Amino acid sequence: MKITWPITMAHIERRERRGKNGQVLRSYRVRWRGPDGKERNKSFKRKVDADRFAATVSADLVRGQYIDPDAGKILFETYAKKWLAAQTFEEGTHVAVELRFRLHAFPVLGRLNLNDIQPSTIQSWLRTLSDLAPSYRQIIFANVSTVFSAAVDDSLILANPCRARSVRRPKRGHHKVVPWPRERVLAVRDELPARFQLMVWLGAGLGLRQGEIFGLSPDDIDLERGEVRVRRQVKLLGNKQMFGLPKGRKVREVPLPDAVLEAINAHMTAYPPIDVTLPWEKSDGKPTTVTLILYSREKKALARNYINTFIWKPALKRAGVPATRENGSHALRHFYASTALHEGESIKALSEYLGHADPGFTLRTYTHLVEGSAERTKRAVDAVFGHETPDLPADEAIEAEGQPLEDALEINEEDDDDA
């Protein structure tokens, strides 16, 4: 007669068999039906382990949190590739994520089943990434964690091991941006070949990213409004160039200083803009023709690798600047940001000019460059009163004689509340 039991309960069967020496060998099989109605079972040598497993399965069925123990028997590499293939990333992002998995996740996690990867496994894997830059470790960890979150949503595993409290997540480095001084900006500009010097004007004077500099067109300049519309970049996917929207797909307007406009006009007089055709957004995207201000001697769009290796780094060397990562062309954006903040521009406005997704990121990046509010307040008050010392009433002046001004004058801070 077939035994039946409620779907929300697991049933334990005691089993016995004779060993070769006649010894009685006992085992315990837990049997249950999943939400799909299929019968499943798992055997244990000890009854205490069978009891614990049966209780867990029964409780999960009651709470609606049941996960088939066999569902997670899929290799992390197999599932990660399947997950990546289903994403709607831009082509460049897809390539970057695949590269991170292949180089930094699959060698350790790839041949393990999803349900065999525990928080301790993740912590051990993170140690293999210790030589990478902090920000890069964060990105890799986030990508791997997203795969596990998808596995949870697909009911393959019960929990994401990357989110366990015992896992010490990679932290972003606290490297502070140190802007170039004006003299360095000008020195590097002057050491660049004449046809590439405009890169410095566009980076330090408009805060454009390198790809946005390469993709700038005369059609993006609005003389009436005195601004530049940043609406494309030249992207590189492998060895394939293409046009695309700016980072974060954020089209923006940037104020155009007169000095930068004069530099653009002088450059276009010496090197007239040309039409360049590249695919849009994808390597096989729609061919798009744009009139570019900057281009190579071969009349092609500037290539990042060529410019960085054969143009930018030699100019740094001639200017006496170390050719480090911090001194890449991105340093021009930092100079732009520091100049704007020094002149009192708001973080919100600067964030829009730089094309950041969140003003909070701008603040975290450049907060140490923002002049303290206390200094601004003191300067504002000094400007109003002309650095004059306030006259004290006669009876208070006698008492205050010989005392510091802040001790002689009592200020009730509560009087300034707006409540």
Q: Where are the domains of the chain?
A: 11-63, 76-163, 182-369
Tell me whether the CATH fold assigned to 76-163 matches the one assigned to 182-369: no
How large a percentage of the chain has pLDDT more than 90?
56
| E strand segments, 39-176 | 39-44
DSSP H or E segment with residue 243 = strand 240-244
What superfamily does domain 182-369 belong to in CATH?
Intergrase catalytic core (1.10.443.10)
- What are the phi and psi torsion angles at 301 (to 5°)? -60, 145
- What are the phi and psi torsion angles at 16 (to 5°)? -130, 145
| pLDDT surpassing 70 at residue 391 | no
How large a percentage of the chain has pLDDT more than 70?
83
| pLDDT surpassing 70 at residue 410 | no
- What are the phi and psi torsion angles at 48 (to 5°)? -65, -35
Q: How many CB atoms lie within 10 A of CB 181?
A: 11
Return the half-sphere exposure (C-beta side, CA atoms, 13 A cut-off) of residue 84: 21
| pLDDT surpassing 60 at residue 1 | no
Q: What would the pLDDT profile of 118-174 be if each residue is shown by its tens digit?
A: 999 999 999 999 999 888 999 999 999 999 999 999 888 888 999 999 999 998 766
CATH class name, domain 76-163: mainly alpha
Across all residues in the chain, what is the average pLDDT?
84
Whole-number pLDDT of residue 278? 97
Please tell me which residue, 345 or 234, carries the higher pLDDT value: 234
Nearest to 151 by CA among 72, 266, 86: 72
